[in-house]
Amino acid sequence: MKVGIIGLGLIGGSMAIDLKRRGFADEITGVEADSVNAAAAEKIGLVDRVLTLEECVKESDLIVLAVPVGAAVKMLPEILDMFRAEETASGSCRKTVIDVCSTKEQLSKTAHYHPMRTHYVATHPMAGTEYSGPWAAMPGLFDGRACIICNQEESSPAAVHLVEKLYDCLNMRPIYMNASSHDVHTAYVSHISHITSFALALTVLDKEKNEKHIFDLASGGFSSTVRLAKSNADMWVPIFSQNRENLIKVIDTYIEKVRAFRQAIDGFDEDGIRALIEDANRIKRIIR
Amino acid sequence: MKVGIIGLGLIGGSMAIDLKRRGFADEITGVEADSVNAAAAEKIGLVDRVLTLEECVKESDLIVLAVPVGAAVKMLPEILDMFRAEETASGSCRKTVIDVCSTKEQLSKTAHYHPMRTHYVATHPMAGTEYSGPWAAMPGLFDGRACIICNQEESSPAAVHLVEKLYDCLNMRPIYMNASSHDVHTAYVSHISHITSFALALTVLDKEKNEKHIFDLASGGFSSTVRLAKSNADMWVPIFSQNRENLIKVIDTYIEKVRAFRQAIDGFDEDGIRALIEDANRIKRIIR
């Protein structure tokens, strides 16, 4: 199996490592628009060769689109067009393309009426770190996590089966959901935690002018809460933008909850503070 | 050296483990108001013996007050009164008491005019986890962290020196600050991150009714951001309450920052979102 990975950052690079080491891919080629990242990915040995998009699509059986979702929305139809051209030229195309983006509805709409739609599988592996670039790639990033597969009825059974094998190789647990539900639920669970973390970093940087104090007073708690504020703008700007409607709703609820704390604290209402904390503690039942 | 630890939870219990193992204390006795926790602390072997408060103060050279700050404010003068009684009865008292609470101003005011004030050292070891109780105690909890020592000019040099030796044994780096600055800075850096995490848990539990979805969609990012929402109400209610004024200011700034994200996202302002994220990314320079 020849795998082509477009975008050799944290996700694409980490996939490249495990898909090669675990024998899913015989050869991995990559495409990387940033020349520094491309050189680094080759030097680190994430991929066997760095190619142009056209060469990569031509040479690969399975293409993984691992670029920020704004770029993915533009590139997905281009790749499906190349599949179409191959089918027209040679009578058949057996290639599959997947994306690994964090929002799904707009990508899904973009591909919906494409004649090669069945060759595309929409996926979202729920794994990552706050770091980015080829040097952030690591083995085992996906192990034991969930991977969402969206609108699989629009993909061919063969393509879905291949993608399930890929994620099984990465030790991921598949979950099936439509693209629109995916975007609602990820806004509620995943995207909001990035907003809260960015806002926390901005607050601390704003209120605490002495950087040494921040370092000294940051116990493990602050570090873990603010961790996501290191996340990359290239990745998160299009996610927030594409998931705007769901995010606005969850941000409004979030502001209400912060205000509830403010009100209880301001009113010396210790019973109220306790009730809020104990209510929040229910998360223990769900998250280890 | 005989050390008495009042409150055998995460902090008191973890101190007991390392102070004994590393040879600072020859004997460690404990006081624990909760009978289940007291039995557990004895069974686990955190302390050599569990005593009453009076017995523990009588037998110890150094007393560590490791109870929630609401209780500490009541107990600190009682312990200093016992020191006073000992001095009156026997002509001298060489005992020292420290607290390890997360707010310092109210404790500091409580002790300020006590005739035995010089025997008290106000400390705040900046370490912890989201778990509580004797079973949460662990070796090495304090290693490499900072410990704030407040208003040390009100303590006797001998008492400060002893406490510096204690924290050196725990591999902590001392930082000196007055109690009022401590409360401002911890509100800005530490306490606010608990509010944001509790509010995140409440939001997710409110918006996402399906607990399985929360589990499935919680990537590492959400888990680390919501981690502090597991924290114990007994500990945090009095902290929020005692640090009310500083916290209200930082919560107001925080709400402004969340609103800035809301406004940029709602207005399709991708440049604005990018500017906020890149501004927040400055935290990378400070926190690993």
Measured in angstroms, the CA of B124 and the nearest CA of chain A are apart by 10
B203: closest CA of chain A, how far (Å) = 5
Contacts of B255 in chain A (CB under 8 A): 255, 258-259, 262
Q: Which residue of A has its CA nearest to B283?
A: A201
What is the domain count for chain A? 2
- How far the first Cα of chain B sits from its last, in Å, is 37
pLDDT at B45: 94
In chain A, % of residues over pLDDT 90: 90
Are B133 and B194 members of one domain? no
Beta bridge partners of A30: A5, A50
- Please tell me whether residues B142 and B274 are part of one structural domain: no
Cα distance between residue B17 and residue B143, in whole Å? 13
Question: Measuring CA to CA, which residue among A185, A68, A174 is closest to residue A121?
Answer: A174
Q: What CATH number is associated with residue A104?
A: 3.40.50.720
Chosen from A277, A281, A282 to mutate, greatest number of chain B CBs within 10 A: A277
What is residue B19's predicted lDDT score, i.e. its pLDDT? Answer: 98
Domain end marker among B133, B159, B177: B177
Verify that B218 and B145 share a domain, yes or no.
Answer: no
Interatomic CA distance for residues B236 and B241, integer angstroms:
8
What letter would DSSP give residue B144? T
**Contact criterion met (CB < 8 Å) for A129 and B220:** yes
Predicted confidence band of residue B255 (pLDDT cuts 50, 70, 90): very high
Nearest CA in chain B to A248: B262
Based on the domain organization, do B134 and B230 belong to the same domain? no
Query: Helices then strands (H, E): number in chain B?
Result: 13, 8
Residue ending a domain, among B108, B143, B177, is B177
Which site among B237, B239, B247, B270 would you substitute to test the A interface, given the most A Cβ atoms closer than 10 Å to its Cβ? B237
Looking at the fold, whether A96 and A125 belong to one and the same domain comes out as yes
> The complex's ipTM?
0.92
Q: Best residue in A181, A191, A215, A226 to probe B by mutation, most B CBs within 10 Å?
A: A226
Q: What is the rounded CA–CA span in Å between residue A18 and residue B58?
A: 62
Backbone angles phi, psi at A139, to 5 degrees: -70, 150
User: Nearest chain B Cα to A221, which residue?
Assistant: B228
Tally of helices (H runs) and strands (E runs) in chain A? 13, 8
Chain A CB contacts of B145 under 8 Å are 219
- What are B107-149's pLDDT values in tens digits? 999 999 999 999 999 999 999 888 999 999 999 999 999 999 9
A112-170 pLDDT tens trace: 999 999 999 999 999 988 899 999 999 999 999 999 999 999 999 999 999 999 999 99
Please give the biggest Cα pair distance in chain A.
75
Whole-number pLDDT of residue A209: 84
Among A124, A35, A115, which Cα is nearest to A72's?
A124
Residues of chain B contacting residue A278, judged by C-beta atoms under 8 Å apart? 233
Q: B62 and B46 in contact (C-beta within 8 Å)? A: no
Q: CA A184, B263, B286, B140: dihedral to nearest 10 degrees? A: -40
Choice among A56-65, A72-81, A218-227, A232-241 with the minimum mean pLDDT: A218-227
Q: Do A258 and B284 touch (CB under 8 A)?
A: no
Tell me the per-residue pLDDT of A201-258, one tens digit each, with 9 for 90 and over. Answer: 999 999 888 888 888 888 778 888 999 999 999 999 999 999 999 999 999 999 999 9
Rounded-to-integer distance, Cα A284 and Cα A281, Å: 6
In a shared domain, residues B240 and B266: yes
Count of CA atoms in the C-beta half-sphere (13 A) of B258: 29
> Coil, helix or strand for A50?
strand
**Residue B119's CB: how many other CB atoms inside 10 A?**
24
The reply to whether B128 and B206 lie within a common domain is: no
Least CB-CB distance to B195: which of A175, A248, A261?
A261
Q: What is the pLDDT of residue A288?
A: 74
- In the structure, what pLDDT confidence band is assigned to residue B210 with cuts at 50, 70 and 90? confident
- The pLDDT value recorded for residue A39 is 95
The amino acid that residue B262 corresponds to is: R
Please report where in the chains the tokens 């390890």 appear, as a residue. Answer: B100
A280 contacts in chain B (CB < 8 Å): 197-199, 201-202, 205, 229
User: CB count, 10 Å around CB of B255?
Assistant: 17
Q: Burial, B36: exposed, middle or buried (Cβ in 10 Å; 0-12, 13-18, 19+)?
A: exposed
Amino acid at B200: L
Q: Which residue, B77, B45, B230, is CA-closest to A284?
A: B230
Phi, then psi, of A282 in degrees rounded to 5: -60, -20
The CATH number covering residue B215 comes to 1.10.3660.10
Mean of pLDDT over chain B: 95
* Nearest C-alpha neighbor of B192 from the set B239, B125, B145, B156: B239
What is residue B278's predicted lDDT score, i.e. its pLDDT? 97
The whole-angstrom distance between residue B225's C-alpha and the CA centroid of its chain comes to: 19
Q: What pLDDT is recorded for position A212?
A: 84
pTM of the model: 0.91
Does one domain contain both B65 and B19?
Answer: yes
Exposure string (b/e) for A136-148, b if CB count within 10 Å is 16 or more? bbeeebbeebbbb
Strands B62-65 and B49-50: unpaired
Mean of pLDDT values over A26-44: 95
Distances (CA, A) of B172 to A6, B141, B169: 47, 10, 8
The pLDDT of residue B124: 97
Beta strands in B117-263 (DSSP E): 120-125, 146-150, 173-177
Query: How many angstroms away from the CA of A98 is the closest CA of chain B?
Result: 19
The DSSP element (H or E) to which B64 belongs, if any, is: strand B62-65
Q: Which residues pair with A148 in a beta bridge?
A: A124, A175
Q: Give the per-residue pLDDT at A198.
A: 97
DSSP letter at B133 equals: S
Domain match, B114 and B39 both = yes
Which residue in chain B is spatially nearest to A275 when comparing CA positions?
B233
Which helix or strand (DSSP H or E) is residue A43 part of? helix A35-44
For residues B250 and B192, is the Cβ–Cβ distance under 8 A?
yes
Q: Are residues A101 and A202 in the same domain?
A: no
Q: Do A225 and B221 touch (CB under 8 A)?
A: no
Dist CA A93 CA A45 (whole Å): 29
Shared domain check, A21 and A126: yes
CB contact under 8 A, B283 and A229: yes
What is the mean pLDDT of the segment spanning B262-271?
Answer: 97
Question: Greater confidence, B67 or B129?
Answer: B67
In contact, B49 and B23? CB cutoff 8 Å: no
Closest CB from B208, B258, B280 relative to A255:
B258
Alpha-carbon distance of A237 to A227, in angstroms, equals 17
Domain that holds residue B245: 182-285
**What pLDDT, in 10s, does the model give residues B145-184?**
999 999 999 999 999 999 999 999 999 999 999 999 999 9
Give the pairing of strands A120-125 and A146-150: antiparallel
Nearest neighbour of B233 by CB, restricted to A192, A237, A277: A277
Mean pLDDT of B222-238: 93
- Token pair 């040494």 is found at A212
Of B144, B177, B210, the last residue of a domain is: B177
Distance CA(B222)–CA(A196), nearest Å, equals: 10
Edge-to-edge order in the sheet of strand B2-6: B49-50, B27-31, B2-6, B62-65, B96-99, B120-125, B146-150, B173-177
Backbone angles phi, psi at B177, to 5 degrees: -160, 150
d(CA A59, CA A57): 6
**pLDDT tens for each residue of A265-288:** 999 999 999 999 999 999 998 887
Is residue B111 located within the same domain as residue B240?
A: no
